[in-house]
Amino acid sequence: MVVFAGQGDARRSMALLWRTPGSGGARSGPGPKPGLTVDEIVDAAIAVADAEGMAALSMRAVGERLGRTAMALYTYVPSKSELVDLMYDRALAEMPTAYDLGAGWRAAVTAWAEDGWSFYLRHPWVLQVSQARPVLGPNEYVSLETTLRILRATGLEAGVLRRLVGALVHFVRGAARTIAETRQAPAATGVSDEEWWYARSALLLEVVPDFTERFPMVAWLGAEAQDQPGDASVPYLEREAKATFKVGLTVLLDGIEAIIGRSGHLAGPTRPLGPPGG
């Protein structure tokens, strides 16, 4: 039998994620009582990442917040990367798990997307957790199940549904990422967005005096943006990002409606809409 590299570690991290008995809290045997729990460490780590960004998340920073050294954490968590996995899954628990389909799938998807949007803005670092080797934790699946329950109401077949979920998630994450990164930047660099843009656009015109001739469409769009009135209490970039989110979502939902119309005509009687008994 082939034993893949790290399979032992994989078992431990799965146990941690799913809170298999014995992986979480108080022990019985000899030795000093644990002064911390995995949950406390995960919470502290989330607090650090929320406040100072993923880049500032170090084992030392988390340990300090709990009155320990960096190395103390390794008693509870195998490595930083497993800690990030735990943070990710724990944060995901904040996502709502039920949506009312009474007003139709479109309203439900809109609510879901808005919830995702505000979730990512609450925890911007989540967007930096790689999806390559996904965190197969309980809340990832709860969240996916919730999304699928909504989208099943479109009546589309499984293959299209699967890809639709992907496309929607790509869009929501991408839209949120813009603001998430924007919000990290001032804290990280000590320069506000206004200062930065003011200085940079002055420099741009200095270095590229013929900007308007070289990039007429860009200049035109920029000029039109100036004209818009706006609530000054919300920074311009945030207002614009939210507007992009709304427009994009409308477009996506309109597109889904179009596909539903087509598949209804083309495919005749629809395929089964879910698992037996769903």
Partner DNA sequence: CAAGTTACTTTATGCCATAAGGAGTTGCAA
Partner DNA sequence: TTGCAACTCCTTATGGCATAAAGTAACTTG
Among its own copies, DNA, none, the one that 29 touches (CB under a kind-dependent 5 to 8 A) is: DNA
Cα separation of 1 and 150, whole Å? 42
Query: What's the closest the beta carbon of residue 50 comes to DNA, in angstroms?
Result: 16
Tell me: does residue 52 bind its own copies (CB under 8 A).
Answer: no
145 forms part of the interface with its own copies (CB under 8 A): yes
DSSP 25-56: S---SSSPPPS--HHHHHHHHHHHHHHH-GGG
Residue 147 and residue 112 in contact, taking contact as beta carbons nearer than 8 Å: yes
Q: Is 225 in the site for its own copies (CB under 8 A)?
A: yes
Exposed/middle/buried for residue 177 (C-beta within 10 Å: 0-12, 13-18, 19+): middle
Mutual angle of helices 38-52 and 80-92, in 10-degree steps? 80
Region near its own copies per CB under 8 A, out of 66-74, 83-91, 113-121, 172-180: 172-180
Site for DNA in 33-72 (CB under 7 A): 33-36, 57-61, 63, 67-72
Neighbour count for residue 142 (Cβ, 10 Å):
15
* Binding partner selected for residue 268 from its own copies, DNA, none, CB under the kind-specific 5 to 8 Å limit: none
Q: Are 153 and 104 in contact (CB under 8 A)?
A: yes
Under the binding rule (CB under 7 A), the answer on residue 190 touching DNA is no
Whichever of 132 and 266 has its CB closer to its own copies, that residue is 132
Q: Does 70 bind its own copies (CB under 8 A)?
A: no
Does position 154 interact with its own copies (CB under 8 A)? The reply is: no
Q: Between residues 80 and 149, which has the closer beta carbon with respect to DNA?
A: 80
* 93 near its own copies (CB under 8 A): no
Cα distances (angstroms) measured from residue 26 to each of 39, 45, 70, 216, 266? 12, 21, 21, 66, 59
Residues that bind DNA (CB under 7 A): 27-36, 57-61, 63, 67-72, 74-76, 79-81
